[in-house]
């Protein structure tokens, strides 16, 4: 009977400790991508957690890059060479961003599609046109 009580107490302790654990395992990392926006663009964000850096793309064109800092459990501040944005990760490790000149000014849902950052080596002649989309 004594062994049974010890077993029950041990199991209860484990369940209590597990219940107190922070269940938000979402970390800003990897590659995020939007669906096609209302005006035909795709937005991507590549995040390198080892360097606390990110690169933002519109239609595979690099438009913004910089570093980020964690503000709270699920909130991050991305400071780029073109703009600074704050994001909040949801339970699916996704977030929303706003680019006023894309998607009719509505927020754009960025879904995490992988834990590995992705980069585009292709060079385009129209990158400056895409960078202008970030301007207010």
Q: What is the CATH number of the domain that holds 67?
A: 2.40.128
Domain membership of residue 9 (yes or no) is: no
pTM strictly above 0.75 = yes
**pLDDT tens track for 39-56:** 999 999 999 999 999 999
Confirm if 95 and 108 have CB atoms less than 8 A apart: no
Q: How far is CA 116 from CA 27, 29, 41, 130, in A?
A: 12, 7, 22, 25
- 88, part of any domain: yes
Residue 115 belongs to a domain: yes
Domain count, the chain: 1
- Greater confidence (51 vs 12) lies with 51
Per the structure, the complete domain to which residue 68 belongs is given by 30-134
- Angle 72-78-80 (CA atoms, 0-180°, nearest 5)? 160
Which of 7-11, 26-30, 89-93 shows the lowest mean pLDDT across its residues? 7-11
What's the average model confidence in pLDDT over 111-115? 95
Write the DSSP symbol of residue 28: S
Determine the Cα–Cα distance for residues 37 and 35; give it in Å rounded to an integer. Answer: 6
């Amino acid at each position: 009977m004594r062994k049974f009580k010890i077993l029950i107490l041990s199991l209860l302790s484990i369940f209590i400790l597990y219940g107190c654990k922070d269940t938000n395992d979402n970390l800003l990392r990897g590659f995020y991508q939007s669906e096609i926006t209302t005006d035909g663009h795709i937005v991507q964000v590549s995040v390198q957690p080892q360097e606390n850096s990110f690169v933002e793309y519109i239609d595979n064109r690099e438009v913004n890059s910089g570093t980020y800092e964690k503000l709270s459990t699920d909130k991050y501040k991305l400071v780029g060479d073109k703009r600074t944005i704050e994001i909040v990760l949801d339970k699916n490790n996704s977030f929303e961003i706003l680019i006023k000149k894309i998607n009719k000014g509505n927020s754009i849902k960025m879904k995490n599609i992988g834990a590995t950052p992705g980069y585009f080596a292709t060079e385009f002649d129209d990158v400056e046109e895409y960078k202008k989309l970030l301007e207010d």
